[in-house]
Structure 1
Amino acid sequence: MSSPEGLTDAQQALLAQYTAVTNQDAAAATALLRRCQWNVEIAIARFFDGEPAVDPVAEAQAQEAAARAAQREQLRNIANRTSTSSSSSSTAAADLTPAPRIVPQPPAAARRPTGVFTLILLPFSIAWRLTQGVAYLFSTLFPFLPRLLSNFYSPLHRRPGGAATTSSATTRRALSPRDTASRFIREFEEENGVTGLPWFEGGYASALDLAKQELKFLLVVLLSPEHDDTAAYCRETLANPDVVKFVKDRDIVLWGGSVADSEAYQVSTALQCTKFPFAALITHTPQASATAMSVVTRIVGLVPPQTLIQKLTAAIAAHSDALTAVRTRRAAEAADRSIRDEQNRAYEASLARDAERARLRRAEEAARAKAEREEREREAAAEREERRLAAWRRRRAKRVQPEPSAGGETCRIALVMGDGTRLVRRFAVSDSVEDVYGFVDTVGIAADDEDGDDEAVLEGYQHEYGFRLVSNMPRKVYEPEEGSTVGEQFGRSVALIVEPVGEEGDDDEEEEDA
């Protein structure tokens, strides 16, 4: 059977495998294998079971093609939205103004002249202090004069449009940013009778950092105490309940300052403030850069509260999507970090458990090895003691005197051994009690004339008897070190019990006379 032309080597091998099982014509087999995507198992099953009405392979291919088409359409829509948003973002980014981070520098301490200059400037210093004293006296006696002079000179220190000159920025004592904010809030509430606004009690830099870190909107309000619209702006616009509710509901960071303070004046210069009252909405603008904080809207002059809310709402709506995307990305990164941290903690805990198990295993092995070593040492010591005891008994058995014959100066001793057996033997009355101990300890031990290694084995050995000779009634223990003779201790006849060391004599044992 010839194979159809145009098949690869792999396809010809699959065709040969299929035809070997089905014995089908090569052309029909090739067509069926092609319909089955050259899957031999599926083709064999269809040959014997018949082809289904709906081809699952074709159906799966159609579903996959439909899914790919839907995915391409979705990607196309996303690309269109992205291009539209990027074009609008690029247009908006072109209109954005950077909001720099202003950190007020502490005022430089005045350098006081020393030496000869102090003497030269002394008259001027005295005259200046006298002038200050006179001015303070007049301000005390006539308290209305400073206000009249302030109203007279204030128009001379304003720019056209209501912006204050630099002289107004240095009229008050410089404090820390937090103290300056607290003073502004206190004066704002006392002068205008307005409470409830969630002012940020800190410096402008801290408020900017908070808005950047938490992706919030920062509303900066700059006021000039010399401007005619300041009081109306505070009472009618800022104190409006709708404005207060708007700021609180949208969790806007609200920071305010008076340009009479150095920090607020520097902020007004950095934000290009040209007229008071001034409000600027600042937020993070990822379309400008990854770390950019920009002014997204400015509201200048005395405006109605609804106008202020509308402008702020429009600016927030224009940049909320970008902030939401950044929040989503940060949340995903935080989730990834949390998962990695959890995995690291689990891995470290697993390592700790493995290390603890290894430590316990090593400790158990060390304890087991120590116990085995101590057991071997005990066995070796016990074996050594047994060898030394056996050598001592062999040597002591040589010194045991033969039993004297009856009728002489002898003592008949009946011994009850530890295993219950009874043994009767005569000893000379001149024998020592230790000779009786030696006899009992070497019962059944044959004397060995060849010492062999006994001298080396017995070097430094101190023998102690493991039993005591005890009389029953009355109970008396006879020690081998007393140095007395058998006749002195036992007389002509005695019954003794061989009692192991550490055990008391048995009162039930009775003396027996042989």
Structure 2
Amino acid sequence: MATPDSDISELTEAQQLALQQYTSVTDQDVRAAIPLLRRSQWNVEIAVAKFFDGEGPDLVAEALAAQNVPPPRAPRQENLQQSLLHGQVNALRSQNRLDAAPRVVPQPESQALPQPSLILAIIFTPFKLLYKILAVPFRFFAYLFPFLRIFPRNPTTGTLRSVNTSGRRALSPADAAQRVQREFTEEYGENSLPWTSQGYATSLDQTKREYGFLLVILLSPEHDDTTSFCREVLMNAEVTSFLNDPTNTMRVWIGDLRDSEAYQVSTALKCTKFPFSALICNTPEISSTSISVVSRLTGPMTASTYLSKLRAAHAARASQLETGRVAHNLQNSERNLRAEQDQAYERSLAQDRERARQRREAEAAAAAAEKARLDAERNATLLAEKRKAWRKWRASKVKPEPGLEEKEIVRIALKLPEAARVMRKFRASDEIEELYAFVECYEDLQAGITEEVEKPEGYEHEFGFRIVSTLPRVVYDVKGGGTIGEKVGRSGNLIVESIFEGEEEEGE
């Protein structure tokens, strides 16, 4: 559920656009991005700088700076001597002060305006020319009277918003960098400059992570000294060798002012003279995460002068960056070591959990097997008791042997498995089950156990044998029913076979 601080529906259209642009660069969660943008007065560049470089202690001053409002000055009283001393101190501080390297936020490709079709371009050409003609006096009037807001101004720089009229197609930062490299090679020939195929913001982030140097070179094709600077300075063998030296950890980004990102970089770096070069690196004396412009090389100069200034600025910072790089690598090594130790610990925990799970499963399986065995034994004991009780009950229900006075009599000779031949008379009207019951209860009948017992409840008796005749072989099944007279006749020689033994013999 969205909180009031992170409800996007309550934001204005401009604030939603700033939020989308900020999250596309930083990939930060919206709930954390909205409070940071509010503290930055919805200025995307200041918010991105805070995200990567950390927030300063004075949030009010930053908010006022975002609105281009100078902070209020406290009244001060001083004499002439104090003013002179204060001016000298400020001059020394301005000479030694390092400007923070701005992080330019490129426009997302999804927000880039598509190029109109040829037909629409031809139709709107007269209106475009008329707008250019009328815009010149209005801009001059706005320059004379800046307090009149005739044209929209850029909230970050305060300058009038300009429209790209060069006809140069807007590309992504990476594609624009590759286009500058291709145009430079076509114009000045093959070279061995250490080109970077990434945008300014990406190059700045990599330089910050690697504790290296970033040389930003801004070129204006309309400037008179651009050609001589590129041919005589940038393509100089010594300059190229210095830039390509891996021990210098130098990264070079060259931008064309006709591109949107390069123009924003020139505005952020306060570029006022061409050719322009700026050397950027980490400045740990300011803060552990700050990156600043340590040297600016502006205007035309010879290759030796350019190289000497570049070497001097590089040498002044190389030792500090090397120390920071070593400390950063040591931190990364420790972090990687801790990560490996954590992974090994997690693997050990996973193995222990797997062993414990297997042990629990084995114990549960053994307990289930033991329970099943006990249940089987208990069921077998209960079944044997019920079977014994049923035999006693059925033995008491077996009809006695008929006497000589009865006429319908069947004489049967039974061959029992564990006894000799038994002669028994049955009534012809007795069911075949009576014959099976006599065989099942023969031992009890012989022992004279005829006590009255109750039939066990929930027990269905199954006979473990069958009665067959020899010649011809006929099986008298108890489930088929019928009387003894119908099945056997007047007399018969029958054999009692065990069901399992009979099945084995038939299988053989």
Q: Could you say whether these structures have the same fold, taking a TM-score greater than 0.5 normalized by the shorter chain as the test?
A: yes
Q: Does 1:98 align with 2:100?
A: yes
Output the amino acid matched with 1:199. W
Q: Structure 1: how far apart are the matches of 2:391 and 2:312?
A: 115
Q: Does 1:242 align with 2:238?
A: yes
Cα displacement string for residues 71-90 of structure 1 (whole angstroms, at most 9, x for unaligned residues): xxxxxxxxxxxxxxxxxxx9
Cα displacement string for residues 33-66 of structure 1 (whole angstroms, at most 9, x for unaligned residues): xxxxxxxxxxxxxxxxxxxxxxxxxxxxxxxxxx
Q: Structure 2: how far apart are the matches of 1:172 and 1:317?
A: 40
Matching of residues 15-414 of structure 1 within 5 Å: 94=96, 96-103=98-105, 125=127, 128=130, 172=166, 175-176=170-171, 178=173, 179-250=175-246, 251-259=249-257, 261=259, 263-403=261-401, 411-414=410-413
CA contact (8 A) 1:469 1:496 kept: yes
Deviation at 1:218, TM superposition (A): 0.7
**TM, length-normalised to structure 1:** 0.61
Query: Which deviates more, 441-450 or 470-479?
Result: 441-450
Inter-CA distance 431–447: structure 2 relative to 1 (3 Å threshold):
farther
Structure index of larger Rg: 1
RMSD of equivalent CA atoms: 4.1
- Report the 3-state secondary structure (helix = DSSP H, G, I; strand = E; otherwise coil) of the residue aligned with 1:462: coil
Q: Structure 1: how far apart are the matches of 2:162 and 2:406?
A: 143
Q: Structure 2: how far apart are the matches of 1:411 and 1:228?
A: 139
Deviation at 1:193, TM superposition (A): 3.0
Output the amino acid matched with 1:434. E
Matching of residues 405-424 of structure 1 within 5 Å: 411-419=410-418, 421-424=419-422
Deviation at 1:440, TM superposition (A): 1.1
Q: Structure 2: how far apart are the matches of 1:171 and 1:126?
A: 10
Deviation at 1:172, TM superposition (A): 3.2
CA contact (8 A) 2:395 2:450 kept: no
Output the amino acid matched with 2:309. K
Inter-CA distance 375–431: structure 2 relative to 1 (3 Å threshold):
farther
- Report the 3-state secondary structure (helix = DSSP H, G, I; strand = E; otherwise coil) of the residue aligned with 1:298: strand
Inter-CA distance 194–408: structure 2 relative to 1 (3 Å threshold):
closer
Inter-CA distance 316–402: structure 2 relative to 1 (3 Å threshold):
same
Q: Structure 2: how far apart are the matches of 1:397 and 1:109?
A: 103
Cα displacement string for residues 239-270 of structure 1 (whole angstroms, at most 9, x for unaligned residues): 12332233223352211234455544543454
Q: Structure 2: how far apart are the matches of 1:104 and 1:397?
A: 103
CA contact (8 A) 1:395 1:448 kept: no
Deviation at 1:503, TM superposition (A): 3.6
Corresponding residue for residue 41 of structure 2: none
Matching of residues 480-499 of structure 1 within 5 Å: 480-481=478-479, 484-490=482-488, 493-499=491-497
Output the amino acid matched with 2:196. F
- Report the 3-state secondary structure (helix = DSSP H, G, I; strand = E; otherwise coil) of the residue aligned with 2:468: strand
Output the amino acid matched with 1:444. E
**TM, length-normalised to structure 2:** 0.62
CA contact (8 A) 1:169 1:265 kept: no
CA contact (8 A) 1:279 1:300 kept: yes
Deviation at 1:177, TM superposition (A): 5.7
CA contact (8 A) 1:277 1:301 kept: yes
- Report the 3-state secondary structure (helix = DSSP H, G, I; strand = E; otherwise coil) of the residue aligned with 1:103: coil
CA contact (8 A) 1:404 1:427 kept: yes
Corresponding residue for residue 85 of structure 1: none
Unaligned ranges ≥5, structure 2: 1-91, 114-123, 135-158
Q: Structure 2: how far apart are the matches of 1:471 and 1:334?
A: 95
Inter-CA distance 408–332: structure 2 relative to 1 (3 Å threshold):
same
Query: Which deviates more, 92-101 or 239-248?
Result: 92-101
CA contact (8 A) 2:396 2:451 kept: no
Output the amino acid matched with 2:295. T
Match of 2:457 among 456, 459, 475: 459
Query: Which deviates more, 348-357 or 183-192?
Result: 183-192
Deviation at 1:441, TM superposition (A): 0.7
Cα displacement string for residues 387-430 of structure 1 (whole angstroms, at most 9, x for unaligned residues): 222122112222334446789865553333223x3232231453
Q: Structure 1: how far apart are the matches of 2:178 and 2:355?
A: 60
Output the amino acid matched with 2:417. G
- Report the 3-state secondary structure (helix = DSSP H, G, I; strand = E; otherwise coil) of the residue aligned with 2:442: coil
Q: Structure 1: how far apart are the matches of 2:286 and 2:233?
A: 31
Q: Structure 1: how far apart are the matches of 2:390 and 2:129?
A: 122
- Report the 3-state secondary structure (helix = DSSP H, G, I; strand = E; otherwise coil) of the residue aligned with 2:216: strand
Inter-CA distance 319–92: structure 2 relative to 1 (3 Å threshold):
farther
CA contact (8 A) 1:102 1:205 kept: yes
Inter-CA distance 125–404: structure 2 relative to 1 (3 Å threshold):
closer
Deviation at 1:463, TM superposition (A): 2.2
- Report the 3-state secondary structure (helix = DSSP H, G, I; strand = E; otherwise coil) of the residue aligned with 1:219: strand
CA contact (8 A) 1:237 1:243 kept: yes
Match of 2:475 among 469, 474, 477: 477
Q: Structure 1: how far apart are the matches of 2:97 and 2:207?
A: 20
Output the amino acid matched with 1:436. L
Deviation at 1:180, TM superposition (A): 4.4
CA contact (8 A) 2:410 2:428 kept: no
Q: Structure 1: how far apart are the matches of 2:165 and 2:487?
A: 124
Output the amino acid matched with 1:238. L
Q: Structure 1: how far apart are the matches of 2:216 and 2:194?
A: 12
Q: Does 1:504 align with 2:506?
A: no
- Report the 3-state secondary structure (helix = DSSP H, G, I; strand = E; otherwise coil) of the residue aligned with 1:444: helix
Cα displacement string for residues 186-245 of structure 1 (whole angstroms, at most 9, x for unaligned residues): 443333335432333343333222211222211111233343322111111111233223
Deviation at 1:324, TM superposition (A): 1.8
Query: Which deviates more, 165-174 or 91-100?
Result: 165-174
Output the amino acid matched with 2:180. F
Inter-CA distance 354–131: structure 2 relative to 1 (3 Å threshold):
closer
Deviation at 1:302, TM superposition (A): 3.1
Corresponding residue for residue 70 of structure 1: none
Corresponding residue for residue 437 of structure 1: 436
Q: Structure 2: how far apart are the matches of 1:343 and 1:168?
A: 56
Q: Structure 1: how far apart are the matches of 2:486 and 2:223?
A: 135
Inter-CA distance 498–225: structure 2 relative to 1 (3 Å threshold):
same
Q: Structure 1: how far apart are the matches of 2:469 and 2:283?
A: 112
Corresponding residue for residue 8 of structure 1: none
Q: Structure 1: how far apart are the matches of 2:160 and 2:460?
A: 111
Corresponding residue for residue 34 of structure 2: none
CA contact (8 A) 2:233 2:302 kept: yes
> How many residues matched?
370
